Amino acid sequence: MKITKYFFAVLALLAFTTTQLAAQSKAGKTLNADTQKSSLVWTGKKIGGEHTGNISLSSGTLQVEKNKLVGGAFEIEMNSITNTDLTDADYNAKLVGHLKSDDFFGVEKHPKATFKITKATPIAKAGENNYQITGDLTIKGKTENITFPAAVKINGNAAEAVAKIVVDRSKFDVRYGSPSFFADLGDKAIDNEFIIDLKLITSASAK
């Protein structure tokens, strides 16, 4: 009787262990972004010129399974917007203040922008890009589905993702100087599309 009980106890333990390992394998692992090493550079264009600057990543993750990207998300601190091309301090401050205002990103009411990956599809390498990323981008409380190519390198518990993301600001109610909302802007028109050059680097730890 004792041997029988012992036998079934061992079977139960093995079954439990196998289930746990299968669950862990299916779940993969989550790699946390190193916000100090990661970067986002924005570029906005208008007739006759452009402006560029930085914006900070406040948090981010990449979900990896069997050394492949399967998901992830990141959060942007909108109040961290800076400009890097204007050397005049007054003009620089004026532009940054305008970008933070309701004319553009309304950071007081909407301090965070977010992106959540809904699909990561490996693609035949075209240059360095090896994934097609699709996900939900939220700016000013509005969410739109976007797709862009990315170069993703995964090495154990470390990863790096680099992408050039083109965003149509008019879809997020960012109206100032937009030809989609205002007619006869002439040379005061500002392109609807702006570019985010993303470099997401994860730390060596995983969970």
- 3-state SS string over the chain? CHHHHHHHHHHHHHHHHHHHHHHHHHHCEEEEECCCCCEEEEEEEECCEEEEEEEEEEEEEEEEECCEEEEEEEEEEHHHCCCCCCCCHHHHHHHHHHHHCCCCCCCCCCCEEEEEEEEEEEEEEECCEEEEEEEEEEECCEEEEEEEEEEEEEECCEEEEEEEEEEEHHHHCCCCCCCCCCCCCHHHCEEEEEEEEEEEEEEEEEC
28-206 belongs to which homologous superfamily? Lipid/polyisoprenoid-binding, YceI-like (2.40.128.110)
Question: What is the number of residues in the chain?
Answer: 207
- Tens-digit pLDDT string for the chain (207 aa): 545 444 444 444 444 434 444 444 445 899 999 999 999 999 999 988 999 999 999 999 999 998 899 999 999 999 999 999 999 999 999 999 999 999 999 999 999 999 999 999 999 765 688 999 999 999 999 999 999 999 999 988 899 999 999 999 999 999 988 887 887 777 778 999 999 999 999 986 655
pTM of the model: 0.82
Query: What's the confidence (pLDDT) of residue 142?
Result: 97
Query: What's the confidence (pLDDT) of residue 182?
Result: 82
CB atoms within 10 A of CB 100: 18
